[in-house]
Structure 1
Amino acid sequence: MIGEAQDKICRRGEIFTSSTLSDSFTPSVVIIEARALIRECLALCLPKKLDLPVLTYADVNSWSQDPAGASACVIILSGLDRQVDGEQSELVRELSRWEKEVPVIVFSDNESRSQIANSLRSGAKGYIPSDTPLEVVAKAIKLVLVGGIFVPANVLLETQLSEEAGARADAKLDFTARENDVVKALLKGKSNKVIAFELNMSESSVKVHIRNVMRKLQVRNRTEAVIKIAEIVRGQSGAQEDDDFPCCA
């Protein structure tokens, strides 16, 4: 399926190089989404917010066969989370490769940081979760159109909180540098095996550091350790929602 899509994208790339075609169309927002209801709702609502026409297609094939699609000033790929892992990133990568002057935005039900990071690494200029308010969606598209990159604010906040939490807990509890690294990983919900790999140490060393952290915190297990560290950080930085800090069993 990806190979076929690549062929379609390649042919569409040839259309974009034709000045006679591109000059005959008003710049438009292209949305590629298999679900008819989502397509129709976006096509109805977005033009009023963007002052741009919106063209919608069920798939890359439909878009590649429509000459009007050459007017795209931004491409929104929707519903990629329903594809097989790897295919979504490959499709974003191919679109970004062939449509170098046309930014790609991913619109998805998946809000995981790993999925967002994969999309951006593949060349997407924005990632919009499907529960984003329409006003924010419009502003995100406008940001991308002027050369910016849109990432959900809650993802940036969670990343910042996770990174800052370990440092604050370290200052409060006098963790060693290595214990602090382990604390940061615990706050992100990582397993001993992943922590060992990322910090280039053995799993037994990770367990020793976790035991030392639990001893300093005076708790019985890692879950209690994460909860207590989160409470300490909240006490220093102000109230935060409980789910800002992922716990691990």
Structure 2
Amino acid sequence: MIEEARNGLLEHDFAPSSLSEGSIQPIALIEARALIRECLAFCLQKKLGLPVLTYGDVVAWSQDAALAGVIILSGDPRHIDSEQLKLFQELALWEKQIPVILFSDGESEIQIVNRLRSGAKGYVPSDTPLEVVARAIKLVLVGGVFVPADILARPMQSEPETFRRTTKLDFTMREHDVVKALLKGKSNKSIAYELAMSESSVKVHIRNVMRKLQVSNRTEAVIRIAEMERFDPDANGACFA
């Protein structure tokens, strides 16, 4: 299932037409290093055809109070550590549900997973090709979650082995279909369209999946499913209730 999901992510159509033109908002880019900030903004604006607003830090962004479709927080790991907490505090204070993507490098799989579990909707390593970066941003803009392929492919050593050994993927047939779509990072709307069901039904299935996996959000669900399948390659054949 993981390999199918990885292929699906690369082949999925994220054309601009898939985004509602009336709802498109600028991208907010927070990066302390001026040269990197301006180069990244230029590349993203040319690639995505969307306006990119740039800021040196979270404080500058919060003072501007500009709405954004997605916030990109870029920097080295130490910078991300301090700025990510400030950013989520500001979003909570404003009661705004703006997805956040992190651009960084030099972090282990465990560190990346922890950042995603803290609320980020995507993590993009700095050596990622621009084409993949653009796809990741478009994916998050339509409600998906971008998890680097190597995170899906490698076991997380911090996961309790007892959980992996005792937890079964006892999903129903419909939940299994939803799980495959989640592994491809698809939004609820896309899942509903592909599986010919309402978005409310998709949400019910996702809640059931998260409950069975003992996780609190869809990002954790994707990571846990990938880890369980890597630990037990035969799990996919026994995942139906």
For the structure 1 residues 109 and 30, does the alpha-carbon distance in structure 2 shift closer, same or farther, using more than 3 Å as the test? Answer: same
Q: Which residue of 1 aligns with 2:197?
A: none
Q: Which residue of 2 aligns with 1:157?
A: 153
CA displacement at 1:153 relative to structure 2: 0.5
Confirm or deny that 1:113 pairs with 2:145. Answer: no
Q: Which has the larger radius of gyration?
A: 1
CA displacement at 1:137 relative to structure 2: 0.6
Q: Which residue of 2 aligns with 1:81?
A: 77
Q: Which residue of 1 aligns with 2:89?
A: 94
8 Å CA contact 1:125–1:149 kept in 2: the answer is yes
For the structure 1 residues 36 and 89, does the alpha-carbon distance in structure 2 shift closer, same or farther, using more than 3 Å as the test? Answer: closer
1:126-167 Cα distance to aligned partner (Å, 9 max, x none): 11111111111110000000000001101211238x8xxxxx
Superposition map of 1:125-140 within 5 A: 125-140=121-136
SS at match of 1:72: coil
For the structure 1 residues 130 and 95, does the alpha-carbon distance in structure 2 shift closer, same or farther, using more than 3 Å as the test? Answer: farther
For the structure 1 residues 91 and 65, does the alpha-carbon distance in structure 2 shift closer, same or farther, using more than 3 Å as the test? Answer: closer
Q: Which residue of 2 aligns with 1:47?
A: 45
Confirm or deny that 1:62 pairs with 2:60. Answer: yes
8 Å CA contact 2:122–2:146 kept in 1: the answer is yes
Instruction: Mark the runs of 5 or more structure 1 residues left unpaired by the alignment.
Output: 1-24, 163-176, 182-249
CA distance in 2, matches of 1:44, 1:84: 22
SS at match of 1:83: helix
CA distance in 2, matches of 1:159, 1:72: 34
Confirm or deny that 1:32 pairs with 2:45. Answer: no
For the structure 1 residues 84 and 131, does the alpha-carbon distance in structure 2 shift closer, same or farther, using more than 3 Å as the test? Answer: closer
CA displacement at 1:88 relative to structure 2: 4.9
8 Å CA contact 2:77–2:107 kept in 1: the answer is no
SS at match of 1:107: strand
Instruction: Give TM-score, length-normalised by structure 2.
Output: 0.51
8 Å CA contact 1:96–1:104 kept in 2: the answer is no
For the structure 1 residues 95 and 150, does the alpha-carbon distance in structure 2 shift closer, same or farther, using more than 3 Å as the test? Answer: farther
Confirm or deny that 1:72 pairs with 2:68. Answer: yes
Runs of 4+ more than 4 Å apart: none
| AA in 1 matched with 2:25 | P
8 Å CA contact 1:26–1:71 kept in 2: the answer is no
CA distance in 1, matches of 2:120, 2:96: 11
Number of aligned pairs?
Answer: 141
CA distance in 2, matches of 1:117, 1:64: 26
8 Å CA contact 2:62–2:90 kept in 1: the answer is no
For the structure 1 residues 152 and 92, does the alpha-carbon distance in structure 2 shift closer, same or farther, using more than 3 Å as the test? Answer: farther
Instruction: Mark the runs of 5 or more structure 2 residues left unpaired by the alignment.
Output: 1-22, 166-241
CA displacement at 1:94 relative to structure 2: 1.9
| AA in 1 matched with 2:123 | Y
CA distance in 1, matches of 2:80, 2:119: 18
